[in-house]
Structure 1
Amino acid sequence: MEKELKLGAEARLTLKDNIVIKERISKSYRLPQIDIPLRKDRTSKEASLLQKAARAQVNVPRVLKVDKENFSIEMEFISGELIDHVINENLAKELGREIALMHDNSIIHGDLTTSNIIVHRGKVFFIDFGLGEISDSVEKKAVDLRVLKEAIRANHPAAADKLNKIILDSYRKNSKKAAEVLSRLEDVEKRGRYKVR
């Protein structure tokens, strides 16, 4: 039996026999000669990112099958809860460590919100690399961290400062380029503050 997990702007996620199928949706406003290659490319790119992350021992769903012709990726289903519902100091520490591992392997998540982090058997797993890329850009790593900080601030206002400090301290201890990335994070946050809204 097939069950729809999520229907987003870019993709449909369904669950069948404990396998998640992510299928990129056609956009009617795009010309077919643009839409088809774009969906193929994004499907291929996301699968490659997940495979690279798995090889680096970052906790992500295993890719089981890639079907570029049908714009779909089949991957293992990670059961668990979104980190928002269960976050504590230990999980915050692990989250910092896992992001450091991801970034040190040149993987940018691209949408590092708490909606894309699942806790499974006490471990932190990242899902949805649809906006991710391979890059060593210090700026992009800093933006990943900024997005996460904002998500935690939005969902856990009372505990946000403490949780974010634990995450960043753990990142600092575990990432080879932490000093550079965290310095850039400060710049990114200053730019955000002075931006005309």
Structure 2
Amino acid sequence: VHGDLTTSNMLVVGNRIFVIDFGLGDFSNELEQHGVDVHLMLRSLESTHPSLVQPLYAAFLEGYAEVRGDDMRRAVEVKVKEIRRRGRYVVERRLRR
């Protein structure tokens, strides 16, 4: 896992994207850690590129699936949704009131 997966830790060179700064990275197969990484990426997109969240996140997940496989992508997407429903990420819960 990267540990700080944000658009600030990506370089775009031509049509390629390079992930940099693995200082907080770790090796893990724990779904929770992968979900937290992807959740942070989604939050980064929401705060820095709000008008482009949907296409950028879809492209990110497509690339994620190419590297990690479709099963892992699906599992991480479910985990991200779970994370977003937790305490400090209460947007969904606030909307239900």
State the shift of 1:153 in Å. 1.0
Judged with a 3 Å threshold, the aligned counterparts in structure 2 of structure 1 residues 135 and 182 are, in CA distance, closer, same or farther, namely same
Amino acid in structure 2 at the alignment position of 1:140: Q
Structure 1 segments of 4+ aligned residues over 4 angstroms from their partners: none
Alpha-carbon deviations, 1:18-62, whole Å to 9, x = none? xxxxxxxxxxxxxxxxxxxxxxxxxxxxxxxxxxxxxxxxxxxxx
More strand per residue: 1
Q: Establish whether residue 179 from structure 1 lines up as the match of residue 49 from structure 2.
A: no
2:7 to 111, 114, 120: 114
Q: Establish whether residue 135 from structure 1 lines up as the match of residue 28 from structure 2.
A: yes
Which protein, 1 or 2, shows the higher relative CO under an 8 Å CA cutoff with sep ≥ 6? 2
Alpha-carbon deviations, 1:77-132, whole Å to 9, x = none? xxxxxxxxxxxxxxxxxxxxxxxxxxxxxxx1000011110012432111111111
Q: Establish whether residue 168 from structure 1 lines up as the match of residue 55 from structure 2.
A: no
Structure 1 gaps of 5+ residues are 1-107
Q: Establish whether residue 150 from structure 1 lines up as the match of residue 43 from structure 2.
A: yes
Larger radius of gyration: 1
State the shift of 1:173 in Å. 5.2
Structure 2 gaps of 5+ residues are none
- 2:16 maps to what in 1? 123
Please, what TM-score do these two structures have when normalized by structure 1? 0.40
Q: Indicate the SS of the match to 1:118.
A: strand
Q: Indicate the SS of the match to 1:159.
A: helix
Kindly tell me the number of residue pairs found equivalent between the two proteins: 87
* Percent of residue pairs identical: 31
User: Matches of 1:161 and 1:183 in 2, distance apart?
Assistant: 17
Amino acid in structure 1 at the alignment position of 2:31: V
Pairwise CA RMSD: 1.7
Q: Indicate the SS of the match to 2:17.
A: strand
State the shift of 1:174 in Å. 4.6
